[in-house]
Structure formats: C-alpha cells, structure tokens
Amino acid sequence: MAKGKVITIAQQKGGSGKTTLAVNLGVALARAGHRVAFLDTDPQGSLGRWFMTRHGDGRAEGMEFSTASAWGVGYEVGKLRDMAEFVIIDTPPKADSDLRPALRAADLVVVPVASSHVDLWATEGVLDLARRESCPVLVVLNRARAGTRLGAEVLTATQALEASIATTQIANRVAYAETLGQGLGGAEGARSPAIRTELDALLQEVLAHIPAD
Ligand SMILES: Nc1ncnc2c1ncn2[C@@H]1O[C@H](COP(=O)(O)OP(=O)(O)OP(=O)(O)O)[C@@H](O)[C@H]1O
Ligand SMILES: [Mg+2]
C-alpha cells in the first residue's frame, strides 16, 4: 500500500476549530471509504476524548488513533502512514518550534480561521512557520456568518494573507459542538444535510490541494 497522506491542522489562536476540522475531515474521509489515522499532539487531548467516545460506541471501525508530543511526531506519523491512507494531525494552539515536526510531516496544512479579526491576526505566525517548512497551506474560514459585515470584512482581510483560501466556509452551527461531544462528525448528527454539503465540498478542496507524489 502507498504511504498515507498527512494533513496537519494548525492555528495559534485557541478555539479556532482545529479539533473540529480534524474530526470532520477525518469522518468525511472515512465516509468516503478511506482508512484514517488521527494523531493528537495537543496535551489538552480533545481529539483523543472524541476518539475514545467514538470507539466506546463501536464506531471507530477503519480508524486509528495515537498521540505524540512534539519530538515524537515524525516517528509516530511514519507508523501511521503505513496503516492509513490519510493521517490527520491535531495540534495545540501555538505557533512555535514545537509545531515544526507536525508541519514538516504534512502534505497539507489546514489553518482554520474563526470569523473574527482577532483570529485573523493570530494567523500570520502559523503561515510563516509553514512557509519556512515549504508546506502547502489551505486557510479555511470557520464559524462563518454568511451575510454579516464581519464575515465579509474577515474574508477580505484573509484574501490579503498570501495563502490559498478554501472557497467552502464552515458555518457557525450548534451541531458541530454537539456532535463533537458525542464522538461523531457533524455529518453523522441529526440535522445533517447542510453540514454534509459543506463538509463534502471542503473535503474535495482539501484533496485537491494535496500535492500528488
Ligand atoms: N463551525 C462551528 N460551529 C459551531 N461551533 C463550533 C464550530 N467550530 C468549532 N466550534 C466550537 O468551538 C469550540 C472550539 O472548537 P475546537 O475545539 O475545534 O477549537 P480548537 O482550535 O481545537 O481549540 P484549541 O485551540 O483549544 O485546541 C468547541 O466548543 C467547538 O465545538
Ligand atoms: Mg483543539
């Protein structure tokens, strides 16, 4: 089997949606029939809590999970890439040298930006680090509020960042918070059609940004 592709989710700003995107991209890939491994490098362990909830409910078929601290990322990713077609790395809210191994391992770095100026201001740090590691980056606007002036302003400011921005925005929906706590992806929850549409669209964009071998 070819080695799996690695998607690292990174953003210095806390609460921007790293873990939410890790979970939802992973579930979307699994729903599309891919074997997925999750690697939690955040000591907060939210992704691990999510995975263990899911595993306890017998829904983690076709998925792997592991943890690593910064220095162990390269080794762990090496193992997971042999087991899964995609490895998704969740990272802590930091953009310092500890983040380097997770960026270095990545085929694509996905950077969520929650819809606010404060979140946007925090984004340069991770973009800088990713540039230094020569990683392709895709910025994803999260908690988007369509039709608001704030939403439009943040989008305009994001376009000045010199990074690829996903056309698909992830809306602010309670279902994302609810399903995360249940060990599910948003598309597996009760009110799912709109969520499924935006996540499928995001997944297509993410896949299109992963360079071919
Ligand atoms: N699109 C969304 N709609 C509604 N709630 C969201 C959305 N994205 C994230 N949230 C909620 O916002 C909170 C923070 O999200 P999440 O844990 O994914 O961020 P994070 O970047 O991983 O945070 P940290 O930096 O602490 O690891 C969570 O309660 C999550 O459920
Ligand atoms: Mg997190």
Find out whether the beta carbon of 23 lies less than 6 Å from any atom of ligand 1: no
Name the residue with the closest Cα to ligand 1, atom 8: 17
Q: How many CB atoms lie within 10 A of CB 113?
A: 29
- Ligand 2 centroid from CA 21, angstroms: 9
Establish if 114 belongs to a structural domain: yes
Our count of domains for the chain comes to 1
Phi/psi zone of residue 46: left (φ > 0), alpha (ψ -120 to 50 degrees), beta? alpha
Asked whether residue 141 carries a pLDDT value surpassing 80, the answer given is yes
Find out whether the beta carbon of 42 lies less than 6 Å from any atom of ligand 1: yes
- 28: domain CATH number is 3.40.50.300
Q: What is the mean pLDDT of residues 73-91?
A: 98
* Beta bridge mates, 164: 138
Establish if 90 belongs to a structural domain: yes
Its domain, for residue 113, covers 5-206
Question: Which residue has 């940004």 as its token pair?
Answer: 209
Encoded tokens for 62: 């076709």
Name the residue with the closest Cα to ligand 1, atom 13: 15
pLDDT at 145: 85
Establish if 211 belongs to a structural domain: no
Q: What is the mean pLDDT of residues 165-193?
A: 93
Q: What is the mean pLDDT of residues 192-198?
A: 91
Establish if 212 belongs to a structural domain: no
Establish if 179 belongs to a structural domain: yes
Ion ligand 2, residues whose Cβ is below 5 A away: 18-19, 46
Q: What is the mean pLDDT of residues 43-56?
A: 98
Confidence of residue 73 (pLDDT cuts 50, 70, 90): very high
The answer to whether residues 4 and 30 touch, using CB atoms and an 8 Å cutoff, is no
Establish if 11 belongs to a structural domain: yes
pTM (two decimals): 0.97
